[in-house]
Structure 1
């Protein structure tokens, strides 16, 4: 890749040049800031020592958050589908009742 397709980010006081598709620079920078914040949070707790261990803990925390949000989103999606299905059944029933009323009026 050419130099214009790389982004320099700083994570836990280290600089990384990362290849990045055009138009994704902002997203990559945001992701790097998020990771840096998580790693600093873990380092400041004093419970984890060493950049490698901090990185693994940050990755595990981020993966856990992602999976938890994905699970909640799937649950909400299922609930929404069931609600829409219920509403459609009610509309179908109302239309069927309306058709029956029209037939009886004739």
Structure 2
């Protein structure tokens, strides 16, 4: 799969980023979220350098990702539990039916 160049702007600077074809919109969407984080941090803390803003934004985004992964793990555990309960219910129903047939 070949790459295409996508231009994004973060804190007034434009960057040309290599991106797999078909993923350009996803990259733009991510860049928009990063820009929002950076802008929010910049307005709240005027004394941070670009590097410090980038680090703070990365930590905030990393924390959001961590929280979503935790939610996903909890959801998967709930689904595994429900599937096990369903399997047990089906097995019991089949056993009951088999016993009635005997």
Same-fold call, TM cutoff 0.5? yes
Distance 2:32 2:85 in 1: 43
Distance 1:24 1:79 in 2: 32
Runs (5+) with no aligned partner, structure 1: none
Tell me, in whole angstroms, the C-alpha distance in 2 between the residues paired with 1:28 and 1:73. Answer: 23
Q: In structure 1, what is the equivalent of residue 77 of structure 2?
A: 78
Query: C-alpha separation between the residues in 2 aligned to 1:35 and 1:9?
Result: 10
Mark the structure with the bigger radius of gyration.
Answer: 1
TM-score, structure 2 as length reference: 0.92
Per-residue CA deviations over 1:74-100 (Å, capped at 9, x if unaligned) read 111011111111111011101101110
TM-score (norm 1): 0.89
| Aligned residues: CA RMSD | 1.6
Aligned-partner Cα distance in 2 for 1:76–1:67: 14
**CA 1:77–1:48 in 2, change beyond 3 Å: closer, same or farther?**
farther
- Counterpart in the other structure of 2:27: 28
Q: How does 1:14-93 map to 2 (within 5 A)?
A: 14-46=13-45, 49-93=48-92
